[in-house]
Every structure is written in C-alpha cells, then in structure tokens.
Structure 1
C-alpha cells in the first residue's frame, strides 16, 4: 500500500515531519517498507533558461542551444520541437542519471557539435508520459531552482505492508485514523455529502442467487449519471496515481482507483449505453466466459460471483470488470456500481482465475459494508466534478450487512495481559479515536466499528490500546532463575529423533529436508506398507499441482532427491530424513519416522572400489537408527515381510514381537520406473514411535563397566538345516543355549551344493564364549557345545554338518 505525504495530510491535520510520521506508523503496527522522496531522486536536475536556439549545421531536426544554468552558460544539442529561446527548462548536467531512459549523461559530440548536458522531457524524469517535447517550466521559476520543487514533484511516497487483519488501512483515511489516535494530529477525513437524484434510475439491478448463496453479494447499489464527458483526469489525481505506480487512463477509471486507495472502497463504472437489460449479481454458469479489462478472456463456473446483464457476463464481482462495457472517451452515460462481495468466495475466485487486482486484494480481506452508500455519494461527486453529468436516484438491491459487534471489556485486562498501566480515561480516549463506541458499564460495552472485522473479543481491544500506547513501553522482566539441578529439555520423542539423526549421519548419509507433500501418483506407489495403513490425504488447496498429497512415507521424496542430484552429476549420494509421516486427518494420525535411500554405485577410490550398496547395507542403517533410538536390537527378529514397493527376496522387516519397527531393501524396479528414477536404489524406513519405552527410567549416571578379566574364546559350528529355515531362527536358537556364557553369535557362511543334500543348506556360525568367574575347562566347553547342538536340533531341526 502506497500513498503520498500530501495525500495523507488531506485526512490528517498535522505538522509532524516525514520521519516522525514513519516512526509513528511503525510504532502502531503499520510496517513501513520504504520511503521514496522524489526530491532526492531529482536532486541533480535544476531550472535552466534557453538564451539562444540555432539550427544544427549538419542536422535539420537538431538545434544548438545556449542555456543559462546554475553551472554557467552551457551548449546543449537538442532535438525537441519546442526548444526555443526564452523558455525555462529542466537542465541535467554531465554526470546526472536520467531515470526515464536509464542513462548517466556524459560529455558528447552530436553530429560534430559538443553537447554539455541535456534538457529533459516529462517522461525522462518519470513525472508523466509526455515525451513530445522538453519540459517548459513556469516563467516565474529562477535559474538554479530545483526542478522537483518547481514542477510539484517533491511529494514523498510512503510504502507500507498491510497486515491481513487490518483491511481498513488499505485506505489512506485508515492510516490517518491510526496516526491521529497515536497523537500525531487531528483526523479531518471529510464525510461524503448526499446528492439528490434528479430522476429515477433507468438501469435496474437485482440479486439472483439460489438459496444458501445469498451471502455471495448481499448488497448491490448503483446510480445512473447521464451527460458525462470523459477525458483525462486532473493533474493532482494523475500525480497521485503515478506515485502509486498506476498509469492514469481517464477520469472515470482514475476515480475508481482513487476510491480504492483513499477510502479502501473498490467500485466499478459501466458505460451505461453498452448494457442490455437488467444488471444482475448472480453465480456463474459452466461455459460462460468474458473478456476482462486486462485484455484476457476468463472462463466462469458456478462457484464465482458474476455481474451480468440480459446478454452476457460483464465481470467477476469484487475482482475485475469486462472490456465490452468499459468506459472510453466516447462514453456519455455511466452506471456506477458499489457492492459488497463475500471475502471467501472472492479469494477462491481470484485463486482460480489468477487475477491479482486492487479490488480483489481489498474485497478478500474485507471492505466496510457501511460505506456502500457513502462511497456511492463520494464517487458520484467526483464524477460530476471531473466529468459533469446529472445523477439519478440510487438503486439498492438486497440489504447492507450489519457488522454490529459489542465486546464486554473490563479495562483491568490491559494490565493483566500486557503489564501496561494505562488509565481508564486513556483507554477510552484511544478506543474512541479509533472509531469504537464506549459505554461505561461494568464491564464496559465497546461497539466495534464496521471497518474493523478483526475485532472478536476483549484481547483484541487490549491489543489496540497497547499498540497505540506503544509496544516499546511494555515493561521488561528478567527471566526466572534457573533451577539448581537441570532438568531434561527434550521429550523422549525428541531425544529419539535426535539420536537417530546422529546415528544415520555417522553412517555417512547426508540429511535432507523435503516437502511434507508429494505427487499423488508417487504417493499411491507407497501406500501398501504393512505398518502404516495410509489412505492418502489429498489437499484441498495445494501449493503446487505436484504437491497435492500428504506423505505417508519418507521414501518417495528421498528417492526423487537422489535422482535430481544424479541428473546433475552426483550419482553417489545417500540421503536420510527424520520427519513426520501422515496417515489420517486426526491429530493422532501422524507418526515420526527415520528414512533413508542410497544409490548402489560407490565412487572409485585409489584404495580400491568400495563394496556396492545392497540390502544388508540398508538393514545396517535401520539397525543403527533403532539402536540409537533405544530399541532392544538384541531382541529384534528379521522377517521377509516388506511392503510391495520393495523388491521381493531383496528386502525384509525388523520386528519386535507383533510390531514391525522398520522395513528395508531394494526399491522395486516397477516403482522406480513409475517415478522415472534410474536404479537400483536401496532404502529403509524406521518407525520411531513404535519403539517401546524403557521399563526403567534412564539414570543420569553411567552404569558400571561390565567387563571380564578373562579372555573370550570362539567356536565355529556348521549346521545343515532345511532350505526354508531363516538364519535368524538359527541364531536365536544358538543364543538361547547358554545365555550366561554366549556373548555373541554371528553368521559367516551360507552354502548349498556338493556335500549338502538337496533341499538343505549349510549355515556356519561363530559363537563367542565369555567366561566370568574362571577359565573354562575342555569338559565345560564341550558341554556348552553339546547344548548348542541340541538346542539347534530342537528349535529348527538342524544337525552338525559332517
């Protein structure tokens, strides 16, 4: 939102400086982004006087002028048709930057004649669009005077950010009201005076909405004005619009833009002679379309509010009008529309069409419904002042929405919520200055003005008083003293995620942060997990077409990230992420997971080629994350029950009883092909929330070192078992044979072939025995070995290989 200092002073009687105004705006919550002072931008340009203007010896359309300037007499070659002796001009010296042509002047020769500087046009100084000749300053101007001051281009422009809860500050009068409440001056915004209509309006308006949709446009006011003469708007209005970055078009169009910025009241002016029959506000219909004022054609559907006559759609309500009924220089009769449109429907229509207009910006945030008729009176007066004409009576379809809202407000709330000690009379003064009506009962009854839709309760009134009083006056209080004994700062879940993150980083994976959304096609590929039953949460308003579903797995985005890096030459990456996944729309329907993905080809190294990534690599990743997060990894079981997006036979799951804590393996080629990813890729996913809490509360001190002074010893066993027996079952049987002595069991060989019967396989394991009290005798070792063989035979039907 932009406005000029002189514009503000039409609403605020103040002697405050520009710096004081900007500082006060920031203090009351109107965040100023920039202040542009044209006088500083045009400081290099001054008034000069043409003393002589003689034809150029080598060019028919050029003149060699002798110009009196603040730097003395200068010779300047000029091609402007109005360059002549005796006129006052805008002089730019050598070294000046001319903004309109983006050129820094230097001494030059033009067709053999030296030129020292330039005489500028209006457009070259960005003071207008005129480029037919150089500026002719008033004869009263003196040589050396600043051009900005003489030409009235010294009005500073303030640009500030309008927060969504303050739609009233989309108008200059709203800014002036806040500054007046802060004590920076007196609010002098004039109230529009009613104009008596000279005749009944020949143009009728109606509301035509089905039941339940009446709030799309509850009120539609209009007024016919005949006999207008459209043309350029006055210079003061053109200057203000240019200061905002808007291009003046014609008086009738410029008036609507002025109303939007002066009073935050968008409206529209139709060429009445181009209307056919009754003007209706209604919902659109499939197949309808119209040509908008931006020159583009837009399709309309049944969710949009449109303005239409008996022939066609004329525009989108609250967003943009149509070109077919727009005003031109030939317009002689107009119909002014001033209506109220539903903010939510306006915002949805704007998103669908992609139209970003000043009207949409204001209507979707909320305009003052009580200003419909006063806004019509003000717009009518402006039209008559600039274009003449005779107005009709106002026609109104529907009822103007009543925004009556009374808040019960005890003044002591200010002290309780903010710590500010503001006297009740000061509270009343601030609220009254902001447009609130205060009735002093117990508690106070405060009526919010119609232009403040953000006021809901007493806390909002406290905020109003606090911001006008000054947030810089909030009392400062020291933080409470820390406790003598520090308590944990992280929850158990946060600690799990932190430790899993550290473990995976330690295994050489790089952490990635991906979107919580993904493409629906990719999401459907990963919805078959046997741990998380996800249905796919489709977003109603996605930020992009390929980010329309909440993720139920971390793997799709990680795999896609691997491919993006591979496309750029980094095909050796391994990525992980610790983040939530979403399986439903309830607060409890999300889980914390740690996932990772690896490409299978390592980089070459002078020490030799590292081993390729396989299913056991990602199993080790998952085990490391589980162990770091506190899972009892010694009790985990490996099962071949991975989801179908993993390769069968090259994947598995880690289970603790009936719970599946993780799955891992090679991503199925079918999935990679659907995602357009080059394989092979291996991945894993650990479900941190399924890890059981430890039975005992973790102690802050480390446990005693449980180490034996005696050397361990190892024995190798080769068992012949059925081909279907899982190695995990064999390892579990061996561990259970003698829990006190067996400290470790590891598989080191799997063999099928000569010497092993068909349908069987040989599993060779290394068993580590750790004596505690004494060195084991040969008899004791043999006894343990016998128990191991017996346990394996009982558990899995295995026997020692001959």
Structure 2
C-alpha cells in the first residue's frame, strides 16, 4: 500500500515527524518498505500562461512563446509539439533550479533569445513522461509557485502488509492504526447520502450468493467524462501509485485508496436487460480492459448481462462495456465478493490488479453503502452526474458474521508478562474498531469489526493489545518454570537414533517439499487418491505427497544431472493419504540409492550398488530396534520392479517396501541407471521390546549342521521359521552359512546349509534329545516345503 503522508494527516495528524510516524507504523506490524519525496527538489517554477505561440524563424521544430507569470511576460523558445496559445504550463523562470542542480539562465536558440523554460513532467522529476511540456488545468492560478500548487512538499510512504491486514489497504485503515497508536481521534470523511434526482435503475440479480453476498448498483445520467480530474485527486492518486485515466475511473480508484472498496463503472448504454452475478460456463470468453482475451472456466465468478460476460468479478472489467470518451450514462458497481472465490483467480490469468489484491485478502463486508455514497458525491461534484436510486441485491445467509470473542485480563497479564490497565485495554480495542458487548471487572466480550477477518480467538486480541501498546514497552522477563527431567521411554526408539544410523551408513539427509507434481505421483501410485491443494504455489506442486519417493527421486535426478556417481539419500517426514476414516498423516523414513557401491578410491572398482546392498542397509537400520524381528518377503508395488521388490513386515503387519524403481517409471524420468528405494512407517518401527535379564548358562553347547535341497521359489525365511518351530526352546542360534546351486543339484532347486546351536540353562543336552530335534526338523521341512536332506 502506497500513500501520501499529507493525505493521511488530513485524517489524523499526531505531533510526530515523518520518520517517527514510519517507525511507529513499522513497530505496529505494518512494515514500511520505503519512502520517497513525491517530487524531486526544484525551485523558481511557477504556473505560467502561454499568451502567444509563433513559429521560430530559423527552426522548423521550435516555437517562440510569450509566457505570463501574472506580473510580467517573458519570451521563451520551446521545442514541445503541444505548446499553444492559452495553455497553462510549468514555467521555470530565469534563476530557477531544476532537479539535478540544473540552473535556468538566459539563452539564445537559433539567434532568438529565450528567458526561461517550459518544463515537462520528467524535467521536474514528477514522472517519466517527456512527450511534451506539462499541461496544467485551465483554472490553475497564474504565478502560483508550482510546488505550492501541487502541494509537493510531501512524502510517498509504502507499507508491506501481511495478507491478514487488508483493512490497511486504504487511507482510512492506515489512519485508524495511527490514531489508536497515538491515542488521537480520527477525522472520518463525511459521507452524506446523495439524493436521487431521477427514478431510473438497472436490475441486478445474484445467482451465486456464496461468491457475491452483496451487490449495489446505481445509474448516473448526463455524466461529463470530458472534464479534467481535479489536481488534488490526480496528485493523491499519483502518490498512491495509480495513474489518472478519466474522471469516472479516477473517482472509483480514489474511493478504493481512500476507503478500501474497489468499484467499477460500466457504460450503461452498452448493458442489456439486467446484471447477473454468476459462475462462468465452460468455454465462455471475455476481452478485458487491457485487451487480453481470456477463456473462462466454471470456477470463476462473472458479472454478466443478457449478452454474456461483462467483467471478471473482483479482478477486471471488460473492454466493450468500460467507460469511454463517448460515455454519457454510467452504471456504478460496488460489491462484496467472498475472498475464497477471488483468491488465485487473477494469478491464474497472469493478472494482478488493485481490485483483486484487495478482494482476495478481504474487503469490509459492511462498506459498500458508504463507498457508493462517497463515489456518488464525487461524480456529482466533478462530472455533474445525475444519480438515480441505489439498487441493492444481497443474499444475507452468505454475508459473514463478525466474531464475538471473550477476553480475560489475567490471561492478558500472563501472556504479556505485565498488567495493562483495564481502561487502556478498552481504549485500544475500541480505537481498533472493536465493540464491547459485555464487560465485568477484568472480563470483556467484544465483537470484531467487519473489516477484521483475522480475529477469531482470545490470542488474536492479545496480539492486538501487544502491538498497539508497543512491543518495546513490554518487559523483558526470563521464563520461570519448574523443569523436571523427563524419563526416556525405553520402548520408544528416538527417530534421531535412526537418522544417526543412516548417516553412519553413508547416507545424506534430504529435505523435500510436502507437495509434488500430480502426474509424476500418479505414475508411481496410480491407485492412490492425491489430496489437491486449494491454492498451490505452482502447477507442479499442486498435490500432497502420498510417499516421500517422488521428492527423493527429484533430488536423485538433480544429483545425477550434475555428474554425481554415488547417490545415497534419505529423508524423514510425513506422507498424506486419503483413507476411509479421513486424512491419514504418517511419519515415514525413506531412502533412494543409485550409482557405485562405494565412493571413488583406489580400493573401489566401480561396481554398481545392487538390491542386496540396500537390503543390508535397511537391515542394519532396523537392527537398532531392540528385540524385534523384521521379515523381508517377496512383494509387489506399482512403483517397484516386479522381480526386485520386498515387503517388510513386523509380526505380520506391513512396515514398508524395498526394491528397484520400476523400469517404465525410470525411463519416463530419464534416469539411465537403476535406482533402489525403501520406505518405512515409523509408527510400526520405533517401538522396541523391553530388555529382560537372562542368566548366562554354564552348560556346554551342542552344534549340528543341516543342509537341505528345496525349490528355487522357497524363501529362506520360510525354512528358518520351520526350523525354529521344531528345534525346541533351547535353540540358541540359527545361521544360514551357505547357498549352493550347480553341479549335483537340479537346476530348479537350491541347497541351503544352516548351523544350529543348542544350550540348556542348567544341564547338558544329550545326543538323543538333539537327534529328536533334528528328526522333527527334517520331517517338517520334507512335509511343508518338499525339502530333501542333502547327502
């Protein structure tokens, strides 16, 4: 928001300097981005009148003008094409000093003397316009100092507002803040009702009440758009960063800067039947005021008539119905559009207007009547317009209701670390526009003003009290609390321990966005419903991730594109999935590995990492979970290679997946080497078993070796499970020490060799007992898995 300091001081003018004012506003949360004089330094420039203008005798492009300063005339040679008799101009007399310390002296141009200079806006530092000399209003008083005429001893201040402070996108809003900060009354602009002088109206109908709960329209006849906008209004607009266009547009822009209410004027003679506020129909098109033709979709709110779309609601009007030099009758529109209906719509069309900037943040929903009356008075005063009655259409059920919030003085004191007097609390709240519904000795029930959409809970009110009272005035107090050491939960493994273990395994931790590109995610998870963001920052980051893999793969691509040949990344974070019970947010740990097995070195032969390398890393990671057995079983996953995919289970419950990226996805991503991925649900991993003490046995151990031949599709884990089941409770260890395929073994089978160790806590096991265990194991393996004892 950019505004003129002098304009602000017509509303409220505390006895502080410009710098103090800016510092004060910044400390109240309305950060001042910068300030600049509204005009560069110059002197000796007055309002002059060209009394005669003749062709230069020795130059085709020069004119010899006689200019009056009200007391005397001077001859000035001028090269501007718009110099003419009767024109009011900016006249720099001999001795004047222009921006850049340029001094005006008596000169001779092509043998003709010149006593002064007729200035352009650029030469005076008012703008970049240098197409000709500056043309002043016909009623400009000749001889008046130009700085005084334009009131140029002013400062243009720009504040950077957070999205919740749309109420300060106006002089009225800024003045309200300055008033309460200095405990001074604000001189509100007087807005009396403008009586209608004729009965003509134009019908208004609201079809989409959710998007437009209130719409006011007013007909003005005999509007003179040829008159010049008053200098004071043009200057206030310029200092607010708005260019003067024509009196009708200038008035609507002025009211927007003054009160914060965007408005639009239609050429009434171009409208047909009635105004209808509705959603667009797919395929409809509209040519905007800037000449751009846009195709509309069904999510966009429109202002229409019988001929079709007239304007993008809250964003920009159409080219064919805007006010022009031929306009005689104006239909003035003033509406409240719901912020959620406007948010993002302008950006989607590559637009950003003053109107959309305000509507998408929230315009006061009770401001429309006042704004219409203010604009009506200015149209009558400046353009001689004849107003008809205002037509109001509204859907009351969709008009927002201001929040009522309870506030307690003891909560204020404990939150701020100090006590603010009850009277001062009430003074701040009422100064900000809150109304006190009920109060009783340190308790208040207050109603938020209609312009504060961000007020909902007691903490919001306390924040308002703190910033107005002054953050610098709050005491510095050290926190006091009885801090007791928290006992560690022995069954809960800290996530940090897993992170440290991943780093020790040679992985680098990555942090990726929680939102990803929808098509890329759909390739990996075609059966998962992605959760779309209501207001994404870009098209390729428009859905929430259902896994950490899409983000990690993007990081892998980034590294491979920069010639990294050893990539080992992991990440901890949340994934977001739509389940039957609603949104599921689960903490997971995921990793991505590709490239060489080891980083470059004299010992490294450039071997590529394989499935078992990554499986070993995951096993090492999970080995830190005390007393828990994790099973790696053949699995299937849409994102992983069908032949290199394992599901990881704990007590029969799925923990995660491990495998190679599916070749088709790898090709679509443009990755030329195999990438291995894994992902684990932390809520099913981190809980370990409590340790229990077991006395060490003093008895000797008994060992046996067992080699069996099984089919290739029989998993080692199934053989181990069968052996453990039949080996008895005194089995101390079971180790797979050999897998053999080749000579002497059927090509469709394999040999597995195990080492078994038994130890009883209090006695020596006999050979007969061990032999019975071995017989049971062999018989079970033969029955269940068609295993044959290898000779």
TM-superposed CA distance for 1:428, in Å, is 3.0
SS at match of 1:616: helix
TM-superposed CA distance for 1:172, in Å, is 0.9
Aligned equivalents of 1:119, 1:713: Cα separation in 2: 113
SS at match of 2:578: coil
Whether the 8 Å contact between 2:594 and 2:673 is mirrored in structure 1 is yes
Choose which of 578, 596, 599 in structure 1 pairs with 2:594: 599
User: TM-score w.r.t. structure 1 length?
Assistant: 0.78
Q: Does 1:90 pair with 2:79?
A: no
TM-superposed CA distance for 1:336, in Å, is 1.9
**Residue in structure 1 matched with residue 735 of structure 2 by the alignment:** 745
Q: Does 1:656 pair with 2:645?
A: no
**Residue in structure 1 matched with residue 558 of structure 2 by the alignment:** 564
Whether the 8 Å contact between 2:640 and 2:661 is mirrored in structure 1 is yes
Spell out, residue by residue over 1:502-530, the C-alpha distance to the aligned partner (whole angstroms, 9 max, x if none). 222222222222232334444344448xx
**Residue in structure 1 matched with residue 8 of structure 2 by the alignment:** 8
Whether the 8 Å contact between 1:205 and 1:220 is mirrored in structure 2 is no
Spell out, residue by residue over 1:662-702, the C-alpha distance to the aligned partner (whole angstroms, 9 max, x if none). 4322223233234443332222222222137334279xxxx
**Residue in structure 2 matched with residue 728 of structure 1 by the alignment:** 717
Q: Per the alignment, do residues 61 and 795 of structure 1 end up closer, same or farther by CA in structure 2, a change over 3 Å counting?
A: farther
SS at match of 2:366: helix
TM-superposed CA distance for 1:258, in Å, is 1.5
Q: Per the alignment, do residues 549 and 26 of structure 1 end up closer, same or farther by CA in structure 2, a change over 3 Å counting?
A: closer
**Residue in structure 2 matched with residue 617 of structure 1 by the alignment:** 613
Q: Does 1:589 pair with 2:584?
A: yes
TM-superposed CA distance for 1:151, in Å, is 7.2
Q: Does 1:756 pair with 2:751?
A: no
**Residue in structure 2 matched with residue 281 of structure 1 by the alignment:** 277
Choose which of 477, 496, 513 in structure 2 pairs with 1:515: 513
TM-superposed CA distance for 1:176, in Å, is 0.9
Spell out, residue by residue over 1:383-409, the C-alpha distance to the aligned partner (whole angstroms, 9 max, x if none). 233333333333334478685766565
Q: Per the alignment, do residues 503 and 471 of structure 1 end up closer, same or farther by CA in structure 2, a change over 3 Å counting?
A: same
Whether the 8 Å contact between 2:45 and 2:93 is mirrored in structure 1 is no
Spell out, residue by residue over 1:524-550, the C-alpha distance to the aligned partner (whole angstroms, 9 max, x if none). 44448xxxx954444455443334443
The worse-fitting range, judged by mean Cα deviation, of 542-551 and 504-513 is: 542-551
**Residue in structure 2 matched with residue 229 of structure 1 by the alignment:** 225
TM-superposed CA distance for 1:575, in Å, is 1.7
TM-superposed CA distance for 1:321, in Å, is 1.1
Q: Per the alignment, do residues 456 and 754 of structure 1 end up closer, same or farther by CA in structure 2, a change over 3 Å counting?
A: closer
Aligned equivalents of 2:425, 2:459: Cα separation in 1: 13
TM-superposed CA distance for 1:621, in Å, is 1.8
Spell out, residue by residue over 1:574-593, the C-alpha distance to the aligned partner (whole angstroms, 9 max, x if none). 22222222332557723222
Q: Per the alignment, do residues 526 and 403 of structure 1 end up closer, same or farther by CA in structure 2, a change over 3 Å counting?
A: closer
Structure 2 counterparts to residues 139-158 of structure 1, below 5 A: 152-158=151-157
Choose which of 202, 211, 219 in structure 1 pairs with 2:215: 219
TM-superposed CA distance for 1:616, in Å, is 0.5
TM-superposed CA distance for 1:438, in Å, is 3.8
SS at match of 2:678: strand
**Residue in structure 2 matched with residue 321 of structure 1 by the alignment:** 317
User: TM-score w.r.t. structure 2 length?
Assistant: 0.79
The worse-fitting range, judged by mean Cα deviation, of 19-28 and 394-403 is: 394-403
Spell out, residue by residue over 1:199-245, the C-alpha distance to the aligned partner (whole angstroms, 9 max, x if none). 223x41221427xx366243323131414133543333333333333
TM-superposed CA distance for 1:791, in Å, is 6.4
**Residue in structure 1 matched with residue 166 of structure 2 by the alignment:** 167
SS at match of 2:540: coil
Which runs of no fewer than 5 residues in structure 2 stay unpaired? 47-57, 64-76, 84-90, 104-116
Aligned equivalents of 1:491, 1:471: Cα separation in 2: 44
Spell out, residue by residue over 1:627-686, the C-alpha distance to the aligned partner (whole angstroms, 9 max, x if none). 23x1546x3333223435433343323333312334322223233234443332222222
Whether the 8 Å contact between 2:202 and 2:219 is mirrored in structure 1 is no
Aligned equivalents of 2:474, 2:694: Cα separation in 1: 53
Aligned equivalents of 1:47, 1:591: Cα separation in 2: 73
TM-superposed CA distance for 1:23, in Å, is 2.4
Aligned equivalents of 1:459, 1:518: Cα separation in 2: 34
TM-superposed CA distance for 1:289, in Å, is 2.3
Aligned equivalents of 2:80, 2:214: Cα separation in 1: 56
Spell out, residue by residue over 1:425-469, the C-alpha distance to the aligned partner (whole angstroms, 9 max, x if none). 333333333334446654656454433344445554444444322
Q: Per the alignment, do residues 223 and 492 of structure 1 end up closer, same or farther by CA in structure 2, a change over 3 Å counting?
A: farther
Aligned equivalents of 1:363, 1:84: Cα separation in 2: 44
**Residue in structure 1 matched with residue 268 of structure 2 by the alignment:** 272
Spell out, residue by residue over 1:112-131, the C-alpha distance to the aligned partner (whole angstroms, 9 max, x if none). xxxxxx99852256512531
Structure 2 counterparts to residues 389-428 of structure 1, below 5 A: 389-398=385-394, 414-415=412-413, 417-428=415-426
Q: Report the number of matched residues.
A: 731
**Residue in structure 1 matched with residue 640 of structure 2 by the alignment:** 646
Whether the 8 Å contact between 2:204 and 2:217 is mirrored in structure 1 is no
TM-superposed CA distance for 1:183, in Å, is 2.0
**Residue in structure 1 matched with residue 682 of structure 2 by the alignment:** 688
TM-superposed CA distance for 1:340, in Å, is 2.4
The worse-fitting range, judged by mean Cα deviation, of 270-279 and 454-463 is: 454-463
Q: Per the alignment, do residues 800 and 341 of structure 1 end up closer, same or farther by CA in structure 2, a change over 3 Å counting?
A: closer
Whether the 8 Å contact between 1:593 and 1:688 is mirrored in structure 2 is yes
Whether the 8 Å contact between 2:205 and 2:274 is mirrored in structure 1 is no
Q: Per the alignment, do residues 587 and 696 of structure 1 end up closer, same or farther by CA in structure 2, a change over 3 Å counting?
A: farther
Whether the 8 Å contact between 1:223 and 1:337 is mirrored in structure 2 is no
Q: Per the alignment, do residues 31 and 536 of structure 1 end up closer, same or farther by CA in structure 2, a change over 3 Å counting?
A: same
Q: Does 1:290 pair with 2:289?
A: no
The worse-fitting range, judged by mean Cα deviation, of 446-455 and 618-627 is: 446-455
Choose which of 778, 781, 784 in structure 2 pairs with 1:796: 781
SS at match of 1:685: strand
The worse-fitting range, judged by mean Cα deviation, of 6-15 and 542-551 is: 542-551
Choose which of 252, 256, 272 in structure 2 pairs with 1:256: 252
Q: Per the alignment, do residues 655 and 484 of structure 1 end up closer, same or farther by CA in structure 2, a change over 3 Å counting?
A: closer
**Residue in structure 1 matched with residue 114 of structure 2 by the alignment:** none
Aligned equivalents of 1:657, 1:461: Cα separation in 2: 52
Structure 2 counterparts to residues 317-356 of structure 1, below 5 A: 317-347=313-343, 349-350=345-346, 353-356=349-352
Whether the 8 Å contact between 2:314 and 2:355 is mirrored in structure 1 is yes
Aligned equivalents of 1:25, 1:387: Cα separation in 2: 36
Aligned equivalents of 1:744, 1:557: Cα separation in 2: 40
**Residue in structure 2 matched with residue 72 of structure 1 by the alignment:** none
Q: Does 1:380 pair with 2:376?
A: yes
Aligned equivalents of 1:516, 1:789: Cα separation in 2: 54
Which runs of no fewer than 5 residues in structure 1 stay unpaired? 50-57, 64-76, 97-117
Spell out, residue by residue over 1:13-41, the C-alpha distance to the aligned partner (whole angstroms, 9 max, x if none). 322111221222133332323333457xx
Whether the 8 Å contact between 1:537 and 1:584 is mirrored in structure 2 is yes
TM-superposed CA distance for 1:727, in Å, is 2.9
Whether the 8 Å contact between 2:150 and 2:232 is mirrored in structure 1 is no
**Residue in structure 1 matched with residue 50 of structure 2 by the alignment:** none
SS at match of 1:293: coil
Q: Per the alignment, do residues 215 and 551 of structure 1 end up closer, same or farther by CA in structure 2, a change over 3 Å counting?
A: closer
Q: Per the alignment, do residues 588 and 697 of structure 1 end up closer, same or farther by CA in structure 2, a change over 3 Å counting?
A: farther
Q: Per the alignment, do residues 432 and 225 of structure 1 end up closer, same or farther by CA in structure 2, a change over 3 Å counting?
A: farther
SS at match of 1:664: strand
Whether the 8 Å contact between 1:789 and 1:800 is mirrored in structure 2 is no
Q: Does 1:636 pair with 2:630?
A: yes
Aligned equivalents of 1:485, 1:214: Cα separation in 2: 53
RMSD of aligned residue pairs (Cα, Å): 4.5
